[in-house]
Structure 1
């Protein structure tokens, strides 16, 4: 029987690389933060739009938003992003999603838990124009900003090409 520790070290003996342990710990920590953030966002959407239909895409993909919020028959995509530090949010993972939504003519609100979203705001504006918003949302004290962003998109009267 092969010991699991031997299987773990075997790739390094034959020239392969191992992922450093601190990176794996950080990655799983961020995953837990993202899952908790998604649950908090889901609760906020239910609290702010109690009669809305909320669909949560639980599969990880870069070209689909995490949530679809349907209010009064109109949909807004919601993408959540979790940062582990309060620095700039550049939106480097957003282009596949923005490209797809640009083709589909859909509306998008990106929620980031912390940081300065100015660089990502420029990216979203370039790709989606007035059909995209970004909001720093870290809890109920930011509900007003979330509500305003979604309602502004819901009130757009025309579907953009």
Structure 2
């Protein structure tokens, strides 16, 4: 006899994902795989650089919330990850909903791009967030010093009550 209840066979067909796994996002499967792997690497870097920090990962895909919230010494910085499949210019066309929300909330943001030239996006972030936003290319541990410097600079200016 064939099982006709879709709820019984669908999870085994598409595979179950635990809540601990990083979400797959993006429009192409290659970019989705790169994005998921990049999030894992960024999470490891945050844990390595701030071992006593609390790190929250937003597991739901939305354009107006950052991927991570890093809380260090009681102060928070939002971390947004962006993955490009090519080394070209990163314009930040997907950032405005997030920047608008953070501008209203008065929060700090670091955008990490895996490769490319982030200059146009830097201009966009500066226009919206001023000195509360940073963008940098981070593609591995050799960029940890840049990430540490950007986050610490934002933490120094962050008040507990924005």
- Counterparts of 1:10-89 in structure 2, within 5 Å, are 27-89=28-90
**Partners of 1:129 and 1:119 in 2: how far apart?**
14
Structure number, greater radius of gyration: 1
Contact 1:105/1:160 (8 A) holds in 2:
no
Say yes or no: does 1:141 pair with 2:142: yes
Report the Cα offset of residue 58 of structure 1: 1.1
Given that 2:108 and 2:158 are in contact with CA atoms closer than 8 Å, whether structure 1 keeps it comes out as no
Please, which runs of 5 or more residues in structure 2 have no aligned partner?
Answer: 1-26
| 1:107-126 map, 5 Å | 107-126=108-127
User: Scaled by the length of structure 1, what TM-score is found?
Assistant: 0.82
**Contact in 1 for aligned 2:75/2:159 (Cα 8 Å):** no
Aligned residues between the structures? 136
* Structure 2 CA distance for partners of 1:160 and 1:88, relative to 1, 3 Å: farther
2:95 matched residue in structure 1? 94
* Structure 1: gaps (5+ residues): 1-25
Secondary structure at 1:39's aligned position in 2? helix
Root-mean-square deviation (CA), in Å? Answer: 1.4
Distance 2:120 2:161 in 1: 24
Between 129-138 and 26-35, the greater mean CA deviation after superposition:
26-35
Contact kept in structure 2, 1:90 and 1:118, CA below 8 Å: yes
Determine helix, strand or coil for the equivalent of 1:155.
helix
Q: Would you say the 8 A contact 2:58–2:68 is kept in 1?
A: yes
Change in CA separation of 1:56 and 1:157 when aligned onto 2, cut-off 3 Å: closer
TM-aligned CA deviation for residue 160 of structure 1: 9.2
In the TM superposition, what whole-angstrom CA distance separates every residue of 1:104-131 from its partner, at most 9, and x where no partner exists?
A: 0000000000000000000000000000
Deviation at 1:159, TM superposition (A): 7.2
Distance 1:40 1:147 in 2: 15
**Does the residue aligned with 1:65 lie in a helix, a strand or coil?**
coil
Relative to structure 1, the CA distance from residue 157 to residue 34 in structure 2 (aligned partners, 3 Å threshold; closer, same or farther) is closer
